[in-house]
Amino acid sequence: MSLINCEITDFTAQAYQQGDFKTVTKQDVLGKWSIFFFYPADFSFVCPTELEELQEYYSAFQKEGAEIYSISEDTEFSHMGWAQQSEKIGKIAYPMLADPTGKLARAFDVLNEEEGLAYRGVFVIDPEGKIQAYQVYGDGIARSAQEILRTLQATKFVAKYGDKVCPAGWKPGDEGLGTGTDLVGKL
């Protein structure tokens, strides 16, 4: 079953963000675009490369009116310890959500129950709290912040211009394609 257009579940999660702890709820997500970025674990190998690259693009996501939420099965205390021990993670400005019970990972169907860790899932959530795009990757495959940003931009474009779609290679500034039958068989 696809999660496209499914509304995210009501949730409350503890988070670490720039030296502080805070609570993040579904209500905090509503009203803006959001990226939910699940990763397996703190103090690991591939994860810090992904989180660091997301930080490098964070201002571009904010320019698009989107917030990034990284999420793992670790606690907010583990996130804080990791940030204090790793220069790369210490730079992260977006909220790092704690999901030690796996409630969020289960709701997004990315929890590896045998290992108690999340798969590498990335979800683009619209301001109404509905999932508009997502991908789930195997453990050893890092994701590209640039592609996640492009996916967000394309998703926003389609939401704004309901009669246009984004072809392969679409990027901001491109017009997109109309959806009329006059294009069928002519592309």
User: For 162, what's the count of Cα atoms within 13 Å in the CB-facing half-sphere?
Assistant: 0
Cα 38 to Cα 93: distance, rounded to the nearest angstrom: 16
Is the pLDDT at 186 greater than 60? The verdict is no
Question: Confidence class of residue 178 from pLDDT cuts 50, 70 and 90?
Answer: confident
- Residue 177's pLDDT is what? 83
Cα 40 to Cα 81: distance, rounded to the nearest angstrom: 16
- Per domain, the residue ranges of the chain are 12-161
Is the pLDDT at 9 greater than 60? The verdict is yes
| Nearest to 123, CA basis, from 102, 109, 139, 142 | 109
Q: For the residues 182-186, what does the mean pLDDT come to?
A: 56
Task: Assign 3-state DSSP to the chain and report helix, strand, coil percentages, each to 5.
Answer: 30, 25, 40
- For the question of residue 47 being annotated catalytic, the response is yes
Residue % of the chain over a pLDDT of 70: 95
- Residue 181's pLDDT is what? 59
pLDDT one-digit tens code per residue, 48-77? 999 999 999 999 999 999 999 999 999 999
Neighbours of 161 (CB within 10 A): 13
Is the pLDDT at 184 greater than 80? The verdict is no
Which numeric CATH code is attached to 12-161? 3.40.30.10
Is the pLDDT at 41 greater than 60? The verdict is yes
Q: How many separate helices (H) and strands (E) can be counted in the chain?
A: 7, 11
- Residue 59's pLDDT is what? 98
- Residue 185's pLDDT is what? 57
pLDDT one-digit tens code per residue, 117-157? 999 999 999 999 999 999 999 888 999 999 999 999 999 99
Of residues 47, 80, 83, 133, which has the active-site annotation? 47
